Amino acid sequence: MTPARWLITGLSFALAFGVSLMIVWRTVPATGLPALGLAAHAALLTLALVELCCRAGKIHLSGRALGVSISFGTAMRTVLGGDFAAAVTPARAGAEPARFLVLTEARVPLAERLLVLFLELFLELWSLLAVCISLALAFRGTSSSMRGLLGLVAGYATFVLSVGAVGLVLSRRRADAPPPAWLARLGVTGARWDRLSAGLHEWGVAVRGLRRAHRPTLVVSLAVSVLHILLRVTTLPLLVWLADPGFVWTRETLAPLVLWPLALFYGSVVVPAPSGGGAVEGAFTYVLRDAIPTAIFAAALIWWRFYTYYLYMLLGGLAAGRTVMRALRPAARLAPPMSTAAASR
User: Are 143 and 252 contacting, i.e. CB atoms less than 8 angstroms apart?
Assistant: yes
HSE-CB of 278 using CA atoms within 13 angstroms: 14
Residue of 336, 272, 341 lying closest to 9 (CA atoms): 272
Q: Is 140 helix (H, G, I), strand (E, B) or coil?
A: coil
The alpha carbon dihedral of 8, 13, 14, 18 has a sign of positive
- State how far the Cα of 221 lies from the Cα of 107, in Å rounded to an integer: 22
Q: What's the start-to-end Cα distance of the chain, in Å?
A: 33
Amino acid residing at 161:
L
For residue 228, the model assigns a pLDDT of 96
pLDDT in tens, 75-114: 999 999 999 988 888 877 788 888 988 998 999 887 788 7
Q: What angle do CA 167, 169, 174 make, to 5 degrees?
A: 100
Indicate the helix (H) or strand (E) that contains 88: helix 72-88
pLDDT band at 164 (very low <50, low <70, confident <90, very high): low
pTM of the model: 0.81
Residue 278 gets which letter from DSSP? G
Of the candidate ranges 45-49, 166-170, 210-214, the one whose mean pLDDT is the lowest = 166-170
For 70: left if phi > 0, alpha if psi spans -120 to 50, otherwise beta; the answer is: beta
Residue 331 gets which letter from DSSP? G
pLDDT in tens, 33-42: 777 889 999 9
pLDDT band at 24 (very low <50, low <70, confident <90, very high): confident
For residue 10, the model assigns a pLDDT of 85
Q: What angle do CA 169, 170, 173 make, to 5 degrees?
A: 105
Q: Is 233 helix (H, G, I), strand (E, B) or coil?
A: helix
**Helices marked H in 172-277 — which ranges?**
181-185, 190-209, 215-243, 251-267
- State how far the Cα of 114 lies from the Cα of 104, in Å rounded to an integer: 11
- State how far the Cα of 136 lies from the Cα of 255, in Å rounded to an integer: 10
For residue 169, the model assigns a pLDDT of 58
- State how far the Cα of 345 lies from the Cα of 343, in Å rounded to an integer: 5
More confident residue, 280 or 327: 280
Residue of 125, 110, 115, 116 lying closest to 71 (CA atoms): 116
- State how far the Cα of 298 lies from the Cα of 33, in Å rounded to an integer: 7
Q: Where are the beta strands (DSSP E) in 39-79?
A: none
Q: What residues contact residue 76 under an 8 Å CB cut-off, 6+ apart?
A: 52, 53, 56, 319
HSE-CB of 77 using CA atoms within 13 angstroms: 18
